[in-house]
Copies of this chain bind each other. A is one copy, B any other.
Amino acid sequence: MSTARSTRKRILDAAAELFQRRGFSGFSYQHIAAELGVRNAAIHYHFPSKADLGVALLSRYRDSFRWWTEQLERQDLSPAHKVLAFLELESRYCREGKVCPLGVVCVEYENVTDSVRIEAAGLASDLEIWLAAVLEEGRRGNVLQVRGSGRGAAVAILAQLQGGLQLARVRGPRHFQEVLEQTRLNLGISAADLMVAAG
């Protein structure tokens, strides 16, 4: 069981890496197998079909995000700092040359099973609900400039970050920094705070 858990986790780690680098259709069981030094069939044991693997991947992103928000809650941060922490989370993807998992599914939407679509929609919903709540909280406390509904602003910011991570690939990481800067300006968060968060 310990071995099973370990292999399963290693598969998901390798798959997540490939997924965010090459897209869903862009990686194969062979790629994962080669990286882990196991055989193709070993992966099919843990994830019978590629759709199963896709769902498991997205489900894990959701779990990670939930865990992340919970530990953030325990730090009792201001809404502005919660936003900055989230920007830092996305910046990490940028530094690693990865894109948002959500974007991958969206682009290949007509190529994936319903099960994958549903899990992706759930992830999008999780992100949106959390960010909208933070923005609303910030607006009430007058520490964030939110235009329109918190929900609308949240969707726009998520779209911006997702697109920004992608554009960074063709135009360079500097472009993602510009996107972060604009997000900050639009919300009225001070430059000094962003520097801390974006590294």
A interface residues (Cβ-Cβ under 8 A, vs B) = 21-23, 25-26, 99, 102-111, 117, 120-121, 124-125, 128, 147-149, 151-153, 155-156, 158-164, 166-167, 169-171, 175, 178-179, 181-183, 185-186
Q: Do B148 and A182 have beta carbons less than 8 Å apart?
A: yes
Residue of B whose beta carbon sits closest to that of A188: B147
Q: Which residues of B contact A26 (CB under 8 A)?
A: 25, 108, 110-111
Q: Do B109 and A107 have beta carbons less than 8 Å apart?
A: no
Q: Which residues of B contact A128 (CB under 8 A)?
A: 171
Q: Do A185 and B110 have beta carbons less than 8 Å apart?
A: no
Is chain A's interface secondary structure helix, strand, loop, or mixed overall?
helix
- Expressed in whole angstroms, the minimum distance between the Cβ of A166 and any Cβ of chain B is 3
Q: Which residues of B contact A181 (CB under 8 A)?
A: 148, 152
Q: Which residues of B contact A166 (CB under 8 A)?
A: 102-103, 106-107, 159, 162-163
Q: Which residues of B contact A22 (CB under 8 A)?
A: 108, 110-111
Q: Do A159 and B170 have beta carbons less than 8 Å apart?
A: no
Q: Do A178 and B151 have beta carbons less than 8 Å apart?
A: yes
Q: Do A99 and B105 have beta carbons less than 8 Å apart?
A: no
Q: Which residues of B contact A155 (CB under 8 A)?
A: 164, 167, 171, 175, 178-179, 182
- Beyond A23-B25, A147-B182, A156-B183, 16 additional pairs, beta carbon < 8 A: A23-B108, A25-B26, A106-B170, A109-B169, A120-B170, A121-B170, A124-B170, A128-B171, A148-B181, A148-B182, A153-B182, A155-B171, A155-B178, A159-B160, A160-B163, A163-B163
